Chain A
Amino acid sequence: MGAKDKAVRKPREKRAWYQAALALGINAWLPSWFKGEIFQGGVKGVCVPALNCYSCPSAIGACPIGALQTSFAGLRFNLSIAEKKFGLYVAGFLGAVGSVVGRMPCGWVCPFGFIQELLHKIPTPKVRMPRFMSYFRYVVLATMVVALPLLIVDQFGFGQTWFCKWICPAGTLEAGLPLVILNTDLRPLIGFMYYWKIGLLVLFIGWFILSRRPFCRAICPLGAIFGLFNKASLFRMAVDDEKCTLCDKCYKDCPVEIKIYESPNSPDCVRCLKCVSSCKFGAISYEFLGKREVARDLRVKSPASS
């Protein structure tokens, strides 16, 4: 590999460090790991823009998807003891983040996205995820996060956090496994649900190895919400049709397998900016607050000089 190649690859190598630092940043209370407990500080009500389980021992913030379901599950006008919270704080937080950067937190902050990218590096034959599956995340959002917690009640008259309970592998990996290992009091409580979630996690891990960020694209309700803002956010991707040669280098490098030249602000795009650095023709750029940038270390200015 020549010096020139190294220079062009630098930004995308840096992103892994950002992902690692931010994953650690939102799970910074490391002493909890030694006690088998979870962090219980007063700042934990602050939502993080990532699918990061608040029962991870070191999590210092709240998972917005868990918090949203909890609000919906407790919204019962027929029960005097119900808190009747609409989830405005969480919905407003998600909308505000989405309005500024769209789905960018998925590419830079989310520990579970980072884990998927790391597992996908394991050398095995790879499988492309069919594109139609990316619509499934809206079904998950509409049913497991909104409709079922609102509509189905238990014997006490309250709803449940359906996505957390039946699907979320982030909760199993970040909280279920470590807490049961670290806290012996929880072990006698293990039953069918625990084995269901472990089995699902194993299946997901296999999928992560084979396909690129499949959970983010097909399942994640948080990605579904942030993705809705990609076309309307302050941060925007742009492709210069005159410079784009349709070489598909961006498509081959993309962690979510999108052709950015077809839809620069696709709801699937996690805005990792890998395509910006991989495009040798400077065709892909991003814009934020009126300022447009292409890769800073782009050496090749035009097709003629490449």
Chain B
Amino acid sequence: MKRKLPWVLLTVFLGVMVAGLLLGEYKTVLEKAVTVCLDCIGIG
């Protein structure tokens, strides 16, 4: 029997990811990622 749940989950989460991208969240992640994270390295 073909399982539907993984496909449903995949579709939903891809939709969530695309919604995040459309809301400009990539830029937010990028801005954080290209700056030295002082918390991460123990200097925050």
Instruction: Please report A residues at the B interface, Cβ cutoff 8 Å.
Output: 38-42, 44-45, 47, 53-55, 59, 61-63, 66-67, 70-71, 74, 83, 85-96, 98-100, 160-161, 164-165, 168, 171-172, 175-176, 179-180, 186, 189-191, 193-198, 229, 232-234, 290
Specify which of A92, A191, A195 is in contact with B13 (CB 8 Å cutoff): A92
Chain A residues lying within 8 Å of B37, measured Cβ to Cβ, are: 53-55, 66, 161, 164, 171, 175
Do A92 and B17 have beta carbons less than 8 Å apart? yes
List chain B residues, Cβ under 8 A from A180: 41
* Residues in B lying within 8 Å of A, measured CB to CB: 2, 5-7, 9-10, 12-21, 23-30, 32-34, 36-44
List 28 A–B pairs whose Cβ atoms lie within 8 Å, in order of A's numbering: A40-B34, A42-B30, A44-B33, A55-B37, A66-B37, A71-B25, A87-B25, A88-B19, A88-B23, A89-B23, A89-B29, A92-B15, A92-B16, A92-B20, A95-B16, A99-B9, A164-B40, A171-B40, A175-B41, A180-B41, A190-B43, A191-B43, A194-B42, A195-B42, A196-B42, A197-B41, A197-B42, A232-B6
Q: Which residue of A lies closest to B19 (CB)?
A: A88
Would B6 and A233 count as touching, CB distance under 8 A?
yes
Q: B32 CB to closest chain A CB, in angstroms?
A: 5
Tell whether, in the assembled complex, residue B28 and residue A95 are in contact, meaning their CB atoms are under 8 Å apart.
Answer: no
Task: List the 7 closest pairs (A to B, CB-CB), nearest first.
Answer: A92-B17, A89-B20, A95-B13, A88-B20, A45-B30, A92-B16, A171-B40
Complex: A71 Cα to B33 Cα, angstroms: 12
Q: Of all chain B residues, which has the CB nearest A74?
A: B28
A53 to B41, CA, bound (A): 9
From known contacts A88-B23, A96-B14, A172-B41, infer whether A67 and B29 are also in contact, taking CB-CB under 8 Å.
Answer: yes
Known contacts A47-B29, A85-B23; can you find 4 more A-B pairs with CB under 8 A? A55-B37, A66-B37, A88-B20, A96-B17
Closest to B6 in A: A234
Which among B10, B17, B27, B41 is the interface contact of A234 at CB below 8 angstroms?
B10
The distance in angstroms between the C-alpha atoms of A138 and B3, with both chains bound, is: 27
Q: A38-B36, A88-B20 are in contact. Are A55 and B41 (CB under 8 A)?
A: yes
Complex Cα distance A232/B18, Å?
Answer: 22
Asked if B40 and A66 make an inter-chain contact with CB atoms under 8 angstroms apart, the answer reads yes
Pairwise interchain contact A168-B40, C-beta atoms closer than 8 A:
yes
Q: How far is the CB of A156 from chain B (nearest CB, A)?
A: 13
Minimum distance in angstroms from A159 CB to a CB of chain B: 11
Once bound together, how far apart are the Cα atoms of A176 and B38, in whole Å?
9
